[in-house]
Amino acid sequence: MSFLEIFKSVDINKELNRCRTTKGAILLDVRTEEEYRQGHIGGSRNIPVEKIGNAVNLLHDKSAPIFVYCLSGQRSRKAVSALRKLGYTEVYNIGGIEQYQGQLQRGKR
């Protein structure tokens, strides 16, 4: 990742459209379990960034496209980097849910 990528703005709404039209895509929320229960994007899975090492037990296909979000985009950036180090090849930071314009789902996964 280059220095300028840190400041690059990502439109979560546009990226969600890309996720939803990508065959086999996984939408991954890396916020805490409590944040996830309070409201998440429908169809997403939750693996808190602190537990991203557990991804290998839950996300078996390392070539599957994974679209990662959090609250603001900071934790998702860290998660994307960690997932790439674990061998996942198609991982994308789609930013923060705070910019999401759709309806949120509440409760557990």
3-state SS track over the chain: CCHHHHHCCCCHHHHHHHHHCCCCCEEEECCCHHHHHHCECCCCEECCHHHHHHHHHHCCCCCCCEEEEECCCHHHHHHHHHHHHCCCCCEEEEEEHHHCCCCCECCCC
Write down the domain spans for the chain.
9-99
Our answer to whether residue 19 is catalytic in this structure is no
Check pLDDT > 50 for residue 1. no
Task: Give the model's pLDDT for residue 91.
Answer: 98
Q: What is the pTM of this model?
A: 0.90
Homologous superfamily (CATH) for 9-99: Rhodanese-like domain (3.40.250.10)
Token pair for 86: 């674990």
What's the confidence (pLDDT) of residue 36?
A: 98
Q: What is the pLDDT of residue 109?
A: 56
pLDDT of residue 50: 97
- Rounded alpha-carbon distances, angstroms, from residue 49 to 12, 58, 78, 102: 18, 14, 8, 23
Catalytic: which of 10, 19, 41, 70? Answer: 70
Write the pLDDT tens digit of every residue in 23-81.
999 999 999 999 999 999 999 999 999 999 999 999 999 999 999 999 999 999 999 99
pLDDT of residue 9: 76
